[in-house]
Chains A and B, each alone.
Chain A
């Protein structure tokens, strides 16, 4: 009897301890970037504008990632880059989610014609790469800033969220309990809030994590092209662009910012994978 109990509780413990590794590794990587980003609010190895070393120094104990063409510490800028990437990523995903989920839900509830029109428009918007849409939006505003980067990437990503939301919501709306709710007199805002959103939320959140990774890459690409946040904001994309400009004199400048960028995106992708597996047990065995 007691042996049986021990076995059961042992099993329970084993299940709890076996955190899926993508979730653990992804969470660790993302968590590291969040800690670094928060740390830069109170402390950085050197001041942002301090020309603390020689120009284009190779990595050393004093400057772990070397220095840039003005002699500023690269590690400091890379750490601030975490903050910029997370800030733009969060802002863009939140904006994209707000616009995308709203349009998706409205399309799912709309009349047949309106829904068809919205679906066709979304398909065409999605065919345009996120970066291209973002470029157009940045170009049409007066000068690039953190705000325009968030706006541009958020709007560009919202089409993908909207399409997913629409498909998921329509699937829920085909259920019998929706008919029951309608018969019971629940209006469409009520059905959306009580039945649709809670059911599609888990899938959407996984998608948001993936969107976050795409937003980080898009932000870096925009600032690489010179359309991102202007200089006091040290974006990884701009660091890489500057590193490329001095690739003949300081060939190592491109390595550290790139690793920072890739580690955050991989972390976000793994985290999304882990979340999806956690939300859908049937996928666990196939991996």
Chain B
């Protein structure tokens, strides 16, 4: 709760520190002083900073994120409509990336003397240098333009009421994020595995007669998972916030494209609302990662809850 409050204050200040009056979004280019004054009164930017914040905080407490300057629609409704695109997109990509990165990361250490062990390291090294939109464009070129397997972008206008089309629309975006995400995840899984393999407890387990894979499965995974989970939390959070680019590549009506549109149109309530909701999601992810770590590692349970968030 405290972190939510801090995040709200920082977001409020960040948006107010930026030059340019939000009222500018409402007036046309040649507006005279009186029109500008009226617009400022309408959006409340004529009030002193502390009164603006008070309004903002009271509205937040009532779950009111205001109305869009451009369309007049409630921001929260619009966000809800877009979350049903961004959240499944991010979660599916995340699960796919974990499914790719964990086995490959472990393999690249355990089999580092085989050709594929080295190959995995090299490919993941290449992967972190590739911008996400290039992967997206290449996938579109191959799977949408040449093979015609999936649509090159867009989302069915009926949304999830057309489940087949919705899933098809998300295949390439999910693959795009998963490829980029797994490239960086593999590196963390790799170094966690290296730490585990050099550990004393693994040698002890082997000395007590456990086979290599037995020791790795019983002790290694559990110990190696703890640092990897905090990275997973950060990755999931930054994918949620960074969905802007992928949603642009595939013309998806998600949270990121709402943010980009809001920035282009200077629609401050929309920008503020999207940032606030994504910050909430990020804090939620951090909290979940914290809980999961406690579940896996009893040694962490004594720590004060929510310390990481």
Binding site for B on A (CB under 8 A): 120-121, 124, 127-129, 131-132, 135-137, 139-142, 213, 217, 220-221, 224-225, 227, 237, 240, 243-244, 247-248, 251, 254-255, 258, 261-262, 265-266, 269
B146: which A residues are within 8 A, CB to CB? 251
Contact present for A266 and B20 (CB under 8 Å): no
Can you pick out 22 interface pairs between chain A and chain B where the beta carbons lie within 8 Å of each other?
A120-B6, A124-B10, A129-B238, A129-B242, A131-B244, A132-B242, A139-B263, A139-B271, A140-B18, A140-B19, A217-B131, A220-B131, A221-B132, A224-B131, A225-B245, A237-B131, A244-B137, A254-B137, A265-B129, A266-B129, A269-B125, A269-B129
Contact present for A261 and B7 (CB under 8 Å): no
Residue of A nearest to B248 (CB): A225
**A135-B263, A269-B125 known; A261+B134 contact, CB < 8 A:** yes
**A217-B131, A262-B129, A262-B130 known; A224+B19 contact, CB < 8 A:** no
**A137-B18, A266-B129 known; A251+B237 contact, CB < 8 A:** no
A127 to B141, CA, bound (A): 33
B241: which A residues are within 8 A, CB to CB? 128-129, 132
- Encode contact with A along B121-142: 1 for CB under 8 Å, 0 otherwise: 0000110111111100110110
**A139-B263, A266-B126 known; A254+B134 contact, CB < 8 A:** yes
Contact present for B138 and A254 (CB under 8 Å): yes
A264 to B124, CA, bound (A): 16
Contact present for A251 and B129 (CB under 8 Å): no
B264: which A residues are within 8 A, CB to CB? 139
- Encode contact with A along B15-33: 1 for CB under 8 Å, 0 otherwise: 1001110000000000000
Contact present for B244 and A244 (CB under 8 Å): no
A248 to B130, CA, bound (A): 23
3 closest Cβ contacts across the A-B interface? A140-B18, A265-B129, A139-B263
A220: which B residues are within 8 A, CB to CB? 131, 133
A243 to B132, CA, bound (A): 15
B269 to chain A, nearest CB (A): 14
B133: which A residues are within 8 A, CB to CB? 220-221, 224, 237, 240
Interface check B90, CB cutoff 8 A: no
Contact of A124 among B7, B125, B130, B131 (CB under 8 A): B7
Contact present for B129 and A247 (CB under 8 Å): no
A243 to B138, CA, bound (A): 11
A92 to B271, CA, bound (A): 25
Contact present for B6 and A247 (CB under 8 Å): no
Interface check B98, CB cutoff 8 A: no
**A124-B6, A247-B145 known; A224+B245 contact, CB < 8 A:** yes
